[in-house]
Amino acid sequence: MTKLNPRQREAVRYIDGPLLVLAGAGSGKTSVITQKIAYLVKTCGIKAERIAAVTFTNKAAREMKERVGKILGGNASEGLTVSTFHQLGLKIIRSERKLLGLKNGFSIFDGQDTQTLIKDLLIQEHGAEGDQAGVIQQRISNWKNDRVLPEQALAGAKSPADMLCAQAYLRYKRALRAYNALDFDDLILLPTVLFEHHPDVLEKWQNQIHHLLVDEYQDTNSSQYLLVKQLIGLRGGLTVVGDDDQSIYAWRGARPENLAQLQQDFPGLKLVKLEQNYRSTSRILKAANTLIANNAHVFDKQLWSELGYGDPLRVIRCSDEQHEADQVVAEILDHKLRKRTRFGDYAVLYRGNHQSRLIELALQQQQVPYHLSGGTSFFARNEVKDIMAYLRLIINENDDNAFLRIANVPRRKLGASTLEALGNFANAQHCSLNQACGRIGKEHVPEAGLQRLREFRNWMDAIRRQCDGNNNVSGVRQMVREMQYEEWLNQLSSSEDVAQRRMGNVHLLIDSLQRVMNEEQVALDEAVSRLVLRDLLEQQEEEDASPDNVQLMTMHSSKGLEFPHVFIIGMEENLLPHRSSVQDGNIEEERRLAYVGITRAQQTLAMTMATKRRQFGETINCEPSRFIDELPQDDLQWQGGGAETVEANEERGQETLAGLKNLFA
């Protein structure tokens, strides 16, 4: 799409106040955002450094910045901020860290760091309650997303469980402060709290941003919405792009009602609807429109297309999940033969990751190449992160985040209270945690804790000396043996096989380290840095590449993507919609998820269901998803279970013959 349609043009050129662009699936919203940035710079004379565009993924931010750069050319886009919400929050925190009571070089905890800390705190204070760490972590995250501080959570506690979570939240906040650390949710929460208490700082940031553009606005939580409101103030230089029908992240705090809230908070809000779809056939869009019409709406829209009516939507009945997997793979191979397509043209979407296993095996059996989205990166595996943290501490003894990760991995009986006391002492002394181990005395931590801290520091110093010579990697291998990491994995893992696989990853990491040092003739510190960078680049390449592989992914992961031919498997009650959503009465979000799945398809869409399915060790009877009943029945072509028509079978037979003839033509 090179030219803007009338509605897109209207959205680009409107600068007289806040604007909501209600952008349906495949309606060219990215073009609108990038063209509007260019319009603000070239036509309206707003300097690029006074414009900020915010989205939710690094990939989306990167693509947006590249497209704007191409449109503007030269240095015109220099200084433009295009980032994720969390990157913007981090930028504000780094700039204002002193007001937030943070030292330079503060750490950012990932999900696993957070859960480990909460678990340690729970064990310390409640003994066997450590197994609740995951639940409490989610509760704390929800509180932060809704801008509820620990004191407010304590005041609002209505049950013993509420009180336990709120107390854990308060202890967790204190521990993070002692460690000079933040978690992911803090990156949004802290700027909003800062702006609330320091109007002068808020005014400074408002003066820096004259126009703010926000993508995927339906996915914002309460804290993100407030941050947008604060940054805009009374200026009104705001363009928001979103689609309430694609809000599928309530489980991580997203509030689709934020779109409606805009009308209340910005009375002069202008609404522009993008309803022309550039992706899908009219039949696919009719199905999507008919399905989503069953949800309540603040804003109504009807997607339409000029790409023709298209093929019927197929519903394939299968006897069980194995038959479903075999049938999907057979359908892909048959269609590829008949239509002479690429494997990369096909996507298989599902509600939960567990549904991919049989599909994977069936694809492997037929030697069909595939790519599974959402797999864990090598460097994201816990055992690899552990050893990398040790390596980081070897090359930089003052890496506080690495110190915290491995101080108790494997267990050294360093309790959360000892580490918190160490953190407070380090803050007071303006030194690293490692340095603090050598300075702290009995007046701060008990004798036993003091001894363990010093033992850990002395041992790490010895390892560091071992790795200083030419035999660096042998020193690393010795370290892994001395700390009995393999025994630690055996204790943690669900089976011996799992433990062996995880230990294999550790050996692979050390071998990779050796190879980098040998091939690139660099020292240990440089090799560690290169390994991390290499992983990041590989992830980026994988993200950007479009190899000729069948794509397997959850419907959540498919958002923002498109494929010529889509299979949605498991269209059954308790799968889609999911059992928990049915029980919680959250059908509307599940319907939006189905809508997202349907609108990924450009040319063809097939949905499968199983009559029986194994679940928790027993075979259960399955009912078709209610969402199939909500689709326009005249557009559905049924297959399997005796549902095929003679005409459909004859048509497919003729197409297959034609495909074979083409191969040998």
Sheet (strand 346-350) strand order: 370-372, 550-554, 346-350, 563-568, 601-610, 313-318, 636-639
> What are the beta bridge partners of residue 609?
317
How far apart are alpha carbons 447 and 631 in whole angstroms?
Answer: 70
Active site residue 336: no
252 close to 216: Cβ distance less than 8 angstroms: no
Close Cβ partners of 629 (under 8 Å, ≥ 6 residues apart): none
Backbone angles phi, psi at 373, to 5 degrees: -80, 150
Question: Which position among 96, 120, 186, 215 bears the catalytic label?
Answer: 215
Question: Which position among 9, 10, 13, 30 bears the catalytic label?
Answer: 30
Active site residue 246: yes
Strands 612-615 and 618-621 come out as: antiparallel
How far apart are alpha carbons 515 and 182 in whole angstroms?
Answer: 35
How far apart are alpha carbons 21 and 301 in whole angstroms?
Answer: 12
Question: Which position among 29, 452, 559, 592 bears the catalytic label?
Answer: 29
Strands 81-84 and 238-242 come out as: unpaired
Active site residue 216: yes
Torsion from C-alpha of 155, 158, 163, 166, nearest 10 degrees? -50
Question: Which position among 600, 613, 626, 639 bears the catalytic label?
Answer: 600
Question: Which position among 81, 114, 192, 246 bears the catalytic label?
Answer: 246
408 close to 475: Cβ distance less than 8 angstroms: no
Tell me how crowded residue 29 is: count the other CB atoms within 10 A of its CB.
Answer: 22
| Greatest pairwise CA separation for the chain in angstroms | 88
**Which tokens go with 433?**
């945690």
Q: Which amino acid is at 197?
A: H
DSSP annotation of 15 reads -
Active site residue 600: yes
Question: What does 331-398 look like in DSSP terms, one character per residue?
Answer: HHHHHHHHHT--GGGEEEEESSGGGHHHHHHHHHHTT--EEETTPPPGGGSHHHHHHHHHHHHHH-TT
**Which tokens go with 189?**
């929460």
How far apart are alpha carbons 380 and 447 in whole angstroms?
Answer: 36
Question: Which position among 96, 120, 186, 216 bears the catalytic label?
Answer: 216
End-to-end Cα spacing for the chain: 35
Residues acting as catalytic residues: 29-30, 215-216, 246, 600
